[in-house]
């Protein structure tokens, strides 16, 4: 049974679906901490409340993000670890559902691997703004004990704002509310965080706003040709490398897919990337040339036959900006997905 579960996890990492990878990491860490809690409780270390002793003195003390600058200085790793910890099943469930829903939207519009960097940047900036707020605002100066924070909410808010920035008129179906545009979902979430700062968990709401700001900034910079994902992509490749080893037939050459790159002042504001692969016979070929290989419809090929791949992509992204992602045809969605996919 354990072998089957490990193989399932390995397959998810081999597929390269970073949204499921992040969810797997968060859930796995939560389960490991829960298991350690039970073991310590049964061992009786720390007295009758040994489980609580373990959580408070080990997990909370060394892995939560402290608001105290002195503690943060000696535990700098907490700026990363806090965003993978959750207090309770419902805290974990809500964050992972949000990450799944909005992560799927983002992965349809930019290369899949960028979401890991977006998640990390959102958590880091959200955490830093939380620490800064607790050390500069008078409302928190009277606190004798400044609380730490934990949770993926700031990282998830970065993904939510990224989806709304990429496709503001795109829609998501919400229970009891029906279909709502992403820009309004993001606006409501931001307003809730702002208005509830004076109530419970002010530090958490401030961190959410920091993560939201980072999600918007990440996409805005990406459109200008500044790829903030690069520092984390090398780390992601290193972590997932053991899962990506697979045996390939010696007589079968690996087919190289078009790589995606970013460059400023080339495409319109809505275009985040363009195909960088140079081909002597197809460098200026539109989707009609691609259609012969990948099975696009004749109407799609005729519509875009006089365009290069880059021009076709820009036209499709402009259509998304005007009418939303759902306005695309099946072939247009497939064409955009093939360009953005990182094999």
Q: What region does 176 belong to: left with phi over 0, alpha with psi -120 to 50, or beta?
A: left
Q: Determine the pLDDT at residue 244.
A: 60
> Confidence class of residue 117 from pLDDT cuts 50, 70 and 90?
very high
Handedness of CA 124, 127, 131, 133 (dihedral sign): positive
Which residue in 169, 155, 172, 15 sits closest to 99, CA to CA?
A: 155
Pair 127, 150: CB distance under 8 Å: no
Terminus-to-terminus CA distance in the chain, angstroms? 30
- Greater confidence (232 vs 219) lies with 219
pLDDT above 90: residue 123: yes
- Greater confidence (129 vs 237) lies with 129
Q: Quick one: average pLDDT of 239-248?
A: 58
Range from 57-61, 193-197, 249-253, 278-282 carrying the lowest mean pLDDT: 278-282
Q: Determine the pLDDT at residue 31.
A: 96
Q: How many CB atoms lie within 10 A of CB 159?
A: 30
In whole angstroms, give the CA distance from residue 94 to residue 89: 9
Q: Tell me phi and psi for residue 281, to 5 degrees.
A: -95, -20
Q: Quick one: average pLDDT of 135-154?
A: 89
Q: Quick one: average pLDDT of 34-58?
A: 85
Q: What is the pTM of this model?
A: 0.70
Which residue in 224, 213, 222 sits closest to 158, CA to CA?
A: 213
Q: Determine the pLDDT at residue 268.
A: 39
**Average model confidence (pLDDT) across the chain:** 79
Q: Determine the pLDDT at residue 292.
A: 45
Largest CA distance in the chain: 76
Tens of pLDDT, residue by residue over 315-340, are: 787 777 666 677 778 888 788 777 76
> Confidence class of residue 281 from pLDDT cuts 50, 70 and 90?
very low
Rounding to the nearest 10 degrees, give the CA dihedral for residues 22, 24, 30, 36.
-130
In whole angstroms, give the CA distance from residue 222 to residue 228: 7
Run of H or E including 39: helix 18-43
């Amino acid at each position: 049974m354990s072998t089957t579960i490990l193989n399932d996890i390995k397959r998810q990492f081999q597929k390269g679906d970073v949204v499921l990878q992040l969810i797997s990491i968060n859930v796995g860490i939560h389960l490991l901490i829960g298991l350690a809690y039970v073991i310590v409780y049964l061992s009786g270390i720390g007295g009758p409340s040994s489980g609580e002793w373990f959580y408070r003195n080990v997990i909370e003390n060394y892995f939560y993000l402290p608001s105290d600058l002195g503690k943060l200085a000696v535990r700098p790793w907490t700026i990363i670890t806090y965003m993978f910890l959750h207090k309770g099943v419902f805290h974990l469930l809500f964050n992972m559902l949000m990450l799944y829903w909005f992560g799927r939207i983002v992965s349809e519009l930019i290369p899949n691997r960028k979401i890991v960097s977006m998640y990390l940047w959102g958590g880091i900036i959200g955490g830093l703004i939380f620490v800064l707020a607790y050390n500069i605002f008078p409302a928190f100066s009277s606190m004798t004990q400044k609380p730490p924070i934990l949770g993926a909410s700031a990282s998830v808010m970065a993904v939510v704002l990224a989806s709304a920035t990429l496709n503001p008129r795109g829609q998501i179906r919400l229970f009891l509310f029906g279909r709502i545009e992403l820009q309004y979902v993001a606006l409501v979430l931001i307003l809730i965080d702002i208005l509830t700062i004076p109530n419970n968990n002010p530090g958490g709401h401030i961190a959410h706003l920091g993560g939201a700001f980072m999600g918007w900034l990440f996409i805005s910079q990406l459109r200008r040709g500044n790829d903030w994902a690069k520092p984390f992509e090398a780390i992601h490749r290193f972590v997932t490398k053991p899962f990506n080893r697979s045996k390939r037939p010696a007589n079968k050459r690996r087919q190289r897919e078009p790589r995606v790159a970013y460059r400023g002042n080339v495409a319109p504001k809505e275009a985040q990337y363009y195909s960088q692969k140079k081909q002597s016979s197809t460098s200026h070929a539109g989707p009609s040339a691609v259609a012969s290989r990948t099975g696009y419809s004749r109407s799609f090929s005729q519509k875009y036959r006089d365009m290069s791949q880059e021009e076709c992509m820009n036209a499709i992204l402009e259509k998304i900006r005007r009418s939303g992602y759902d306005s695309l045809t099946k072939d247009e969605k497939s064409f955009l997905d093939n360009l953005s996919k990182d094999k």
